[in-house]
Amino acid sequence: MAKFKYRFEAIKKIKQRMEKKVQKEIAEIELEIKKNENKIAELNQNIRNEKQKVLNKKSLKASELHFHSLYENYLINKIDEIKNKLAQKKEEKKIKLKELEEKNKETKIFEKLEEKHFQEFNYKQNKLEQIEMDEIAVKEFIKGK
């Protein structure tokens, strides 16, 4: 019996590699999103800690109060920058998810095509085997006479 050889196997493998590459890119983007969310939480905690320090002091100089307000503004600006980066990363993730969906469709198309070719191959092989069996049966019948 002949061995099944899918003629588009190389293309199918390339499509699978491309799909895995996009999956890896999505995972990297998700990691960056998590890092940025953690940074925002950390900066918010810093703001709360600074406010608590100011409230716990009994007396403050005007310069210290000015310094704390500037530092708080700096942290708020930093949070806004990170939120902008976060929004960009989320948009990038949406684009990559759409790309992954396309790659997934392409891969499935080639898998279904392979399945169809395999079924055709089996059908042809079965037909050839049936022809061989018929020939053997005819020879045996002729010998028997």
Is 37 part of any domain?
yes
Q: Residue 9: in which H helix or E strand, if any?
A: helix 9-56
Residue 139: band (very low, low, confident or very high) from pLDDT cuts 50, 70, 90: confident
Question: What pLDDT does 26 receive?
Answer: 96
Q: Is 34 helix (H, G, I), strand (E, B) or coil?
A: helix
Within 10 angstroms of residue 14's Cβ, the number of other Cβ atoms is: 14
Q: In the predicted model, is pLDDT for residue 1 greater than 80?
A: no
Region 84-105: mean pLDDT is 95
Residue 141: band (very low, low, confident or very high) from pLDDT cuts 50, 70, 90: confident
Is 33 part of any domain?
yes
Report the chain's mean pLDDT, rounded to a whole number. Answer: 92
3-state SS of 55-99?
HHCCCCCHHHHHHHHHHHHHHHHHHHHHHHHHHHHHHHHHHHHHH
Is the CB of residue 93 less than 8 Å from the CB of residue 26?
Answer: yes
Question: What pLDDT does 59 receive?
Answer: 82
Q: In the predicted model, is pLDDT for residue 39 greater than 90?
A: yes
Q: In the predicted model, is pLDDT for residue 30 greater than 90?
A: yes
**pLDDT more than 90, % of the chain:** 68
Distance linking the first and last C-alpha atoms of the chain: 31
Is 5 part of any domain?
no
Instruction: Report how many domains make up the chain.
Output: 1
Q: How many Cα atoms are found within 13 Å in the side-chain-facing hemisphere of 113?
A: 13
Q: What is the maximum alpha-carbon separation in the chain?
A: 123
Is 17 part of any domain?
yes
Region 76-95: mean pLDDT is 96
What is the spatial distance between Cα 125 and Cα 3, in angstroms, rounded to a whole number? 10
Is 145 part of any domain?
no
Question: What pLDDT does 4 receive?
Answer: 84
Q: What is the DSSP string of 17-33?
A: HHHHHHHHHHHHHHHHH
- Model pTM score: 0.74
What is the spatial distance between Cα 121 and Cα 5, in angstroms, rounded to a whole number? 9
Domain interval for residue 89: 10-107
What is the spatial distance between Cα 42 and Cα 132, in angstroms, rounded to a whole number? 76
Of 26 and 142, which is predicted with more confidence?
26
Question: What pLDDT does 145 receive?
Answer: 64
